Structure formats: structure tokens, C-alpha cells
Amino acid sequence: MGIDLSMLTTPHRFNHADLVELLNSAGDDRKALFAAAAAVKKEYVGNKVFFRGLVEYSNICSKNCYYCGVRRGNHKVDRYQLTDEEVLEAAQFALDNRFASMVIQSGERTDAKFVDKIEKLLALIKSLSNGKLGITLSMGEQSEETYRRWFAAGAHRYLLRIETSDRQLYSKLHPQDNIHDFDVRIGALKLLRKVGYQVGSGVMVGLPFQTVESLASDLLFLKELDIDMAGLGPFIEHADTPLYQYTGSLLPRTERFDLSLKMVALLRLMMKDINIAATTAMQSIDPQGREKAIMVGSNVIMPNLTPLKYRENYKLYEDKPCIDEEAEQCRSCLEARIHMAGNEIGWDEWGDSHHFAARQGSNQDFASDVAMPTDLPA
Ligand code: SAH
Ligand code: SF4
């Protein structure tokens, strides 16, 4: 029997079995999934894409995630940190080009020097832009105090991927120590919500040992977490990481890409008013990857504003695109691509998550007990 496609077009609470079925969909069923997601996107968030200028602030990282090219144990990477001037130049570029927001991403550090530095930088960016530039941070797990200080200094969105909601799989992707603890990461997501950030999370798709059933659980997990923003994309192996040994057992890249697209589409159907990024990793596999993500539900794109000389050393994964393109060139090619995908660009707009705004309105608390994957329907 085929998939009951009525669940795509009538109000429906997707269960685990539905999600597995749709993640495995092919042919006309797959097309129907994408069409339904596109329709929901249009109705709930409109056909507008918001730009966030991405600054890869530093590749200095105290962690050793087994999948990541800038992990502490990779000694082949030259470590860098942008100067204040370089960050401010990128902020000015974002302003001049009417991006309205930037994302500052970095390897994880929790030392006082780093925390102070980020706090000061946030204040500098806010004053440079007269508060006009929205700031998203992606700097890993921090204490509540650090999250509060950075929030007070002007950051109002935070991206922290759970990577996988499967505790067992998480433990295969990270060293077993207290700085790579699954529960701490979930706790950090709760802290971010408590402090007042718009909270973004997501997973990697096509990891070694990951199943479609596990991805279906990820979707239910993100829904349960009630995230405001999502960033998800294919896992891409990096030769200088421990996970590289499993390359032979991975899904082909095109399948990882297609599964990622389906994850975007399903998340759009399940969480209609959140922001969903069309991630760079999508583009690494398919040159039109981000446009395809936009067509099936994404509404945020992050043009890279990192100074060119550092990009080679911020390779979380291999084949990262735009390693040798100036920001300006990236901008014009992106603009044309978004128009081709039938969308407009929300110039000069923060493009905050509607979902966040709606929650503020209803004053609904963050789910205090996030259902663990083991509690989810099998
Ligand atoms: N240090 C911060 C932010 C930088 S890493 C953090 O870890 O949260 C940002 C994201 O890059 C990670 O959350 C992970 O999902 C992604 N990433 C890392 N290595 C990757 C790989 N090999 N393939 C695809 N995505 C990867
Ligand atoms: Fe560091 Fe983030 Fe890479 Fe983990 S994923 S090693 S925390 S930069």
C-alpha cells in the first residue's frame, strides 16, 4: 500500500511511523512531500529569504568531536582568531549590503578571556550599527552566566545543534568525557531559552550508524524542544577526523543530501512558523543545494563574510564551498539563485522567527522535560 498523502494536506500530527515512511518516500510521494512543504512555507512564513552574514570567528576549540575538522586533536590546522577590526568590517559589510543580521560562529571556548572578548565585540557591533544589526551566536555550550552576559550585550539568537537526538549515537560521535555530555548539551538548550534567546538547533544527516528511524526521532525531538530556528544538513566526512574510518559505510552523498532535503520539508510541515536555514553543507554536495532547500521549506541563508585568508582553516568538513570567493561575489551569486528559486530577499529585515514571537505572545513556558529519544514512539 502506498503512503496516505492526505496527511500532507490536512491537519495532522506526524508520528514516528509517518516520518519514517516520508523519509523513505520516492517518486510522486517525494514530490508531494516537497510540494506540501513549499505550500506551508508560503502560507506561514512567506516566500522571503533572510540573509545572515556569517563570520567564522575562530577555529580554536577545546572540544574533540569525532566528526569535525577543527577538533582540538587535528594538528594539521593553523589556528586563528579574527581581530576586532576584521569582525567590525564584516559587520559593516552586512550593514552596507542590507543583510540586517549576522551570525558569529566559533570553536568552543569557555575561558574568561574569550567570554570577555565576545561580550566586548557584541557591544562594539551594536554601537557600530546603532543597534540595527541583529546578532546570532553559535559558540557551543556555555554557562548560564555567559549566555546572560552575551544576551545583555546584544546577541538575541543562538544556534546549538544537538547533532543527533539518539543518546547512543551521540556517544559514538564524541569522546566519553564531561565536556562532550549529551545531557549537558540539552541543558544548554534549555538555558538559552530561559535566558531569552531565539533558540536554534538541528542535526547532521547521514552520520555513520544513523538510521532513518533515528532521523524520524530527531524530528520529533526538535518539535518537542519547540525550537525557534533549525539548521540541519548532511554529514560530510573529513579525512583528518576519527569518523573518517567509516567512510565506506556511509550513504552516498547524493542520498545524504536528499534525506536532508526531506528533513527540511518535514520540519517545515511539523513546525510551520520556525526559521529554517539552507545550510552551506547542502551546497557542498549539490551546487544548487541551498536553492533546493529554499524551495522545500528553508527561509534563511548565511552568506560567508569570513575574511578569505582564514577560510581554508575553518573546514569543519571537506569540500566547503566559497573557500576562495570574496563576500561580494558570493552575495551577487546568491541573490540570483534565490530569485531563481522563486523567492525574494528580505533586505534590511531581521526576519526573526515567527514561532518565537508567537510563543512570547502566548507566554508558553519551555517544555521543562524534553522527551528523550527512548520515550519517543519506536
Ligand atoms: N563549536 C560550535 C559551533 C561550530 S560547529 C558547536 O559545535 O556548536 C557548527 C556545526 O558544524 C556543528 O554543530 C556541526 O553540526 C557542524 N559540523 C561539524 N562537523 C561537520 C561535518 N563533518 N559535516 C557536517 N557538519 C559538520
Ligand atoms: Fe569544536 Fe564545534 Fe567542531 Fe565540536 S563541532 S570540535 S565544538 S568546532
pLDDT in tens, 15-61: 999 999 999 999 999 999 999 999 999 999 999 999 999 999 999 99
Residue 94, all three cell numbers? 552586512
Domains of the chain in start order, with CATH, are 15-359 (3.20.20.70)
Q: Torsions phi, psi of 172, nearest 5?
A: -80, -15
Distance 77 CA to ligand 2 centre (A): 13
Q: What is the pLDDT of residue 11?
A: 86
Tally the C-alpha atoms within 13 A of residue 362's C-alpha that lie toward its C-beta. 8
The whole-number average pLDDT for the span 344-363 is 85
Between the CA of 107 and the centroid of ligand 2 the distance, in Å, is: 5
Longest CA pairwise span in the chain (Å): 61
* Residue whose C-alpha cell reads 555513520 in the numeric block: 208
Ligand nearest to the CA of 230: 1
Of the candidates 321, 320, 353, 324, the residue with the CA atom closest to the CA atom of residue 337: 321
pLDDT band at 204 (very low <50, low <70, confident <90, very high): very high
Residues 206, 250 contacting (CB under 8 angstroms):
yes
3-class secondary structure, 1: coil
CA distance 49 to 98: 13
CB contact at 8 A, 72 and 61: yes
Spatial CA neighbour of 277 closest among 228, 219, 224, 218: 228
Q: In the chain, where does DSSP find H-type helix?
A: 6-9, 16-23, 27-44, 84-96, 112-128, 144-152, 167-173, 182-195, 212-225, 253-270, 280-285, 289-295, 308-311, 327-340, 354-362
Ligand closest to Cα of 242 equals 1
Which residue has the CA at smallest separation from atom 7 of ligand 1?
140
**CB of 70 closer than 6 A to ligand 2?**
yes
Amino acid residing at 361: G
Average pLDDT of the chain to the nearest whole number: 91
Indicate if the pLDDT at residue 369 is higher than 80. Answer: no
How many C-beta neighbours within 10 Å does residue 149 have?
18
Distance 275 CA to ligand 2 centre (A): 23
Q: pLDDT tens digit string along 224-271?
A: 999 999 999 999 999 999 999 999 999 999 999 999 999 999 999 999
Instruction: Give the model confidence (pLDDT) of 102-119 as tens digits.
Output: 999 999 999 999 999 999
pLDDT band for 365, please (50, 70, 90 cuts).
very low
> Could you give the CA distance from residue 151 to residue 225 in angstroms, rounded to a whole number?
20
d(Cα 35, Cα 12) in Å, to the nearest integer? 16
Cα-based distances in Å from 278 to 120, 283, 286: 30, 9, 12
pLDDT value at position 59?
A: 97
Distances (CA, A) of 330 to 39, 150, 160, 317: 28, 29, 25, 19
| pLDDT tens sequence across 273-287 | 999 999 999 999 998
Residue count of the chain: 378
What mean pLDDT comes out for the span 124-149? Answer: 97
Sign of CA dihedral 289, 293, 295, 298: negative
CA distance 145 to 318: 35
Which residues contact ligand 1 via a Cβ below 6 A? 67-68, 105, 107-108, 138, 140, 160-161, 163, 204, 235-236, 238, 281, 316-317
Locate the ligand 2 atom nearest the alpha carbon of residue 62 and give its number. 1
Q: What is the pLDDT of residue 377?
A: 33
Beta-bridged to residue 199, according to DSSP, are: 158
**Reported confidence tier of residue 359, pLDDT bands at 50, 70, 90:** confident
CA–CA distance, 160 with 116 (Å, rounded to integer): 20
Of 154, 123, 122, the C-alpha closest to 57 is 122
C-alpha grid cell for residue 347? 533586505
* Strand-strand pairing, 229-230 and 275-278: parallel
Q: In angstroms, what is the span from residue 108 Cα to ligand 2's centroid? A: 6
Of the chain, the percentage scoring pLDDT greater than 70 comes to 93
- Residue 372 in this model has a pLDDT that exceeds 50: no
CA 202 – CA 280 distance, rounded (Å): 14
Question: Rounded CA gap, 129 and 273, in Å?
Answer: 28
So what's the pLDDT on residue 322? Answer: 67
All cell numbers assigned to 180: 562532550
Of 123, 151, 100, the C-alpha closest to 301 is 100
Ligand 1 centroid – CA 130 distance (Å): 31
User: Residue 48 is inside which H or E element, if any?
Assistant: strand 48-51
What are the tens digits of pLDDT across the range 298-352? 999 999 999 999 998 898 888 777 666 666 556 777 777 788 778 888 888 889 9
Q: Is the pLDDT reported for residue 205 higher than 50?
A: yes
pLDDT of residue 317: 84
Strand partners, 53: 102
Backbone angles phi, psi at 103, to 5 degrees: -115, 130
Rounded CA gap, 83 and 105, in Å? 14
The pLDDT tens digits for 81-104 are 999 999 999 999 999 999 999 999
